[in-house]
Amino acid sequence: MTDSASHILQMQTSTNHWLQPEKQATQPAEAEELRQVLRFHEHRYYVLNEPLVADAEYDQLYKKLEAAEKLHPDWVTPASPTQRVGSGLNASFATVTHLVPMLSLENSYDAEDLNDWDRKARELTGLSEIEYCIEPKFDGASISVIYEHGLLTRSATRGDGVQGDDITTNSKQIRNIPLSAGFQNFGIDTIEIRGEVLMSKQSFAAYNAGLTEEGLPPLANPRNAAAGSLRLKDPSEVQKRKLEAFLYHVSYTTSTASGAGIPGTHSGMLQMLWDCGFRSPVQEMKVVKGIAAVAEHCAWFESQRDALPYEIDGLVIKVNDLALQEKMGMTTHHPRWAIAYKFKARQATTVLRDVEFQVGRTGAVTPVAKLQPVPIGGVTVSSISIHNEEYIREKQLMIGDTVLIERAGDVIPQIVKSQPELRNGTERAILFPTTCPVCEAGLYKEEGEAVWRCINVECPAQAVERIIHFVSKDAMDIRSFGEQQVRRFYEMGLLNDIPGLYQLDFEKIGTLEGFGKKSISNLEASLLQSKQQPLHRIIYGLGIRHVGETMAKTLARAVTHVFDFKNKTVEELMQLEDIGPKVANSIVNFFANEKNIEMLQQLESLGLNLQQAEQSIAAGGSFSGKTFLFTGTLTRMKRQAAEAKVEEQGGQILGGVSSKLNYLVVGEDAGSKLEKAKKIASIVILSEEEFLKLLTHD
């Protein structure tokens, strides 16, 4: 959906209106208006990836709607954003029959296969050249969704292609599947749509990091993660997986008398889905004439594979004209009008030569498989984490085994399986140590956990990992300090702990090889700069178990000084957003440890900022958190006055056009800034008139 500037403006105005603390929905029509606003922001966030409000603002609006609907249950509509959250568990998944069987696709692997397929297609249609639509072959779990009279009524897994499982409740946890969609505008009454559910590489990595931290075995790849998630009993667990859905095929429609009519091409269908609020692959698709152009595009797209935020295992080429598709028909297995072009597999076999045990920042002992180096998809893999004892048992790994490994995009390589049939009797079992491989203290395993930990707080391995985490990019971002340097300084006794970073002996460092004047002054400067880092980065940098970046931000907002945590109870912490008992306990334990308090006191006396920065003065203003830029000549007021007005209402003036900009206000004779802003879809371009309207609205 390409929102028009006037629609965005209308929604923004309405948003500001609903963000006023005293504003409540007191009429059914007002609740509906609030729903529209929420749907608008969900679409900006989950489909367009260009949110226009802060998460906290969205939550505020959502809570308002929830409160109104609680007070007036008869106002609730089935497609209300509040209706995504399923109550209770899925007892079982009923078997349902697809309106049209879900066929699979024929595969091709190179230009020659494509040429053969195109020749047959031309023979079948009698055409000399065919128009094709090329789109990604998403590597997830396929689903079908049905909308009746504009409402999502059923979602199902593929199953055996004819029948699948009813997963409607779980599918509502996927935020880019709209609960309602304006198919009426196209004259459609009932529609069945096919698509793929997947987890982005980023969500997958974050989810796996959480599992590992909890001592649970990680999921093998985003595809398995998505497929498993759809059949989870607990819908709230599904929500945590942050699934996304791409919808790419309309398999069935019934029409009404009115409406614009159903598009005649596949690309037109994808555009229709997009216009109805779905994440269909319109941004990724390409329509070309003739197979030579298809092959060229396939080769180019394969080279871009790693840059995509989600996994694809190839492309799908479809005849674009739907009447032609109909004419070509299908075999019992697959349509004749489409073919999959599969990318080269990123799997390889190699030998597991040895296993080393590494001690992490939290004392977790991780076995790492040392492999005979093998190239996969452009990188040489020589070691892979094998997580924990349970994982080793599950995969039946032995030293000396031949193993199949897979690298899914920029996802860390994994061992798919060992090949016990290739053993010759020289293989050895992997023995887990009973003492810490670094400090030799005994290892412990908490009940219900799979991870063995060294709990010696003075263990050198943990100390060095803690420093590495503290200086890292997402924590204190101490630029000139890398992992190698921390290890080197630590081994030389120049650095023992986090406060030691700010007490380094630069004279001594200056005598080391590789440290000239320039690198020392860079190091000093970045350490100095890091003293000004905001509190949430310090909290994250402390490496408290279960506290990630987002959690650190929530925590920082809840205090004025880091020592306020000393007096917080588990119950109080659990009042904060997304903080459960596990995190709360971990925080309480951290601040109950005198050694940690001493370290923080030391950091404060070394000049680090342990206070939460003052909240912006106009934080409650209607432009709070929004950024503005003026260009051209304003006719109704002076630019300085307009800028002051923005700031008065909590907004911020930016120096130039970038994706950080929310509004560009355009006066007369605007130049390059306007041109640049037009290229960034998330920027709302306002005339002076529109700006004044926004300003005076309350």
If binding is defined by CB under 6 A, does position 138 make contact with ligand IVH? Answer: yes
Nearest of 177, 197, 174 to residue 85 by alpha carbon: 174
Contacts 24+ apart (CB under 8 A), 454-461: 454/359, 454/363, 454/365, 455/363, 456/363, 457/593, 457/595, 459/359, 459/363, 460/490, 461/358, 461/359, 461/360, 461/436, 461/437
Binding mask 83-122 for ligand IVH (x = CB under 6 A): --------------------xxx-----------------
* Of residues 165 and 690, the one with the C-beta less far from ligand IVH: 165
* Of residues 111 and 227, the one with the C-beta less far from ligand IVH: 227
Residue 582 neighbours by CB distance under 10 Å:
12
| Residues 6+ away with beta carbon under 8 Å from 74 | none
CA dist., res. 466 & res. 252, Å (int): 56
Which one is catalytic: 64, 137, 201, 318?
A: 137
DSSP 494: S
Q: Which amino acid is at 655?
A: G
* Of residues 198 and 371, the one with the C-beta less far from ligand IVH: 198
For 337-365, give one letter per residue: b (16+ CB within 10 A) or e. Answer: bbbbbbbeebebebebeebebebbbbbbb
* Of residues 334 and 645, the one with the C-beta less far from ligand IVH: 334
* Of residues 138 and 274, the one with the C-beta less far from ligand IVH: 138
410-439 residues near ligand IVH, rule: CB under 6 A:
none
Candidates 222-230, 335-343, 493-501, 631-639; binding stretch for ligand IVH (CB under 6 A) = 335-343
If binding is defined by CB under 6 A, does position 387 make contact with ligand IVH? Answer: no
If binding is defined by CB under 6 A, does position 538 make contact with ligand IVH? Answer: no
Helix, strand, coil percent content, the chain, rounded in steps of 5:
40, 20, 40
> Which listed residue (15, 90, 108, 142) binds ligand IVH by CB under 6 A?
142
> Which listed residue (48, 145, 340, 461) binds ligand IVH by CB under 6 A?
340
- C-beta of 406: minimal distance to ligand IVH in Å? 18
Residue 247 neighbours by CB distance under 10 Å:
25
- C-beta of 86: minimal distance to ligand IVH in Å? 25
* Of residues 40 and 248, the one with the C-beta less far from ligand IVH: 248
**DSSP E strand stretches across 93-212:** 95-97, 107-108, 131-138, 141-148, 151-157, 163-165, 188-199
CA dist., res. 491 & res. 498, Å (int): 15
- C-beta of 286: minimal distance to ligand IVH in Å? 12
- Contact (CB, 8 A) for 559 and 612: yes
CA dist., res. 157 & res. 197, Å (int): 10
Binding mask 288-327 for ligand IVH (x = CB under 6 A): ----------------------------x-----------
CA dist., res. 377 & res. 409, Å (int): 8
- C-beta of 342: minimal distance to ligand IVH in Å? 9
Nearest of 405, 393, 402 to residue 430 by alpha carbon: 393
DSSP 406: E
Virtual torsion, Cα 128, 133, 136, 142, nearest 10 deg: -100
Q: Which tokens go with 167? A: 């997963």
CA dist., res. 344 & res. 377, Å (int): 8
- Contact (CB, 8 A) for 282 and 271: yes
CA dist., res. 631 & res. 669, Å (int): 8
Q: What's phi and psi for 447, nearest 5 deg?
A: -60, 135
Q: What's phi and psi for 531, nearest 5 deg?
A: -65, -20
If binding is defined by CB under 6 A, does position 192 make contact with ligand IVH? Answer: no
Q: Which tokens go with 392? A: 């080793």
DSSP 179: S
Contacts 24+ apart (CB under 8 A), 588-593: 590/542, 590/544, 590/545, 590/565, 591/565, 591/566, 593/457
546: left (phi over 0), alpha (psi -120 to 50) or beta: left
> Which listed residue (175, 249, 387, 453) binds ligand IVH by CB under 6 A?
249
* Of residues 329 and 607, the one with the C-beta less far from ligand IVH: 329
> Which listed residue (65, 133, 198, 338) binds ligand IVH by CB under 6 A?
338
> Which listed residue (41, 64, 137, 469) binds ligand IVH by CB under 6 A?
137
* Of residues 154 and 318, the one with the C-beta less far from ligand IVH: 318
| Residues 6+ away with beta carbon under 8 Å from 88 | none
* Of residues 150 and 335, the one with the C-beta less far from ligand IVH: 335
Residue nearest to ligand IVH (CB): 142
If binding is defined by CB under 6 A, does position 35 make contact with ligand IVH? Answer: no
* Of residues 97 and 236, the one with the C-beta less far from ligand IVH: 97
- C-beta of 165: minimal distance to ligand IVH in Å? 15
- C-beta of 274: minimal distance to ligand IVH in Å? 14
Residue 70 neighbours by CB distance under 10 Å:
11
* Of residues 251 and 627, the one with the C-beta less far from ligand IVH: 251
Residue with tokens 């609903």, as numbered in its chain:
18
- C-beta of 404: minimal distance to ligand IVH in Å? 21
- C-beta of 134: minimal distance to ligand IVH in Å? 9
If binding is defined by CB under 6 A, does position 135 make contact with ligand IVH? Answer: yes
- C-beta of 409: minimal distance to ligand IVH in Å? 15
* Of residues 135 and 688, the one with the C-beta less far from ligand IVH: 135
β-pair type (379-385, 365-376): antiparallel
H helices of 473-534, where? 483-491, 506-510, 517-530
> Which listed residue (42, 57, 165, 196) binds ligand IVH by CB under 6 A?
196
Active site residue 137: yes
Size of the site for ligand IVH (CB under 6 A): 15
- C-beta of 242: minimal distance to ligand IVH in Å? 19
If binding is defined by CB under 6 A, does position 248 make contact with ligand IVH? Answer: yes
- C-beta of 150: minimal distance to ligand IVH in Å? 24
If binding is defined by CB under 6 A, does position 164 make contact with ligand IVH? Answer: no
CA dist., res. 224 & res. 231, Å (int): 11
If binding is defined by CB under 6 A, does position 335 make contact with ligand IVH? Answer: yes
Candidates 224-232, 332-340, 504-512, 539-547; binding stretch for ligand IVH (CB under 6 A) = 332-340
- C-beta of 80: minimal distance to ligand IVH in Å? 30
* Of residues 147 and 248, the one with the C-beta less far from ligand IVH: 248
- C-beta of 153: minimal distance to ligand IVH in Å? 21
- Contact (CB, 8 A) for 527 and 607: no
Residues tagged active-site: 137
Residues found near ligand IVH in the complex (CB under 6 A):
103-105, 135, 137-138, 142, 194, 196, 248-249, 316, 335, 338, 340
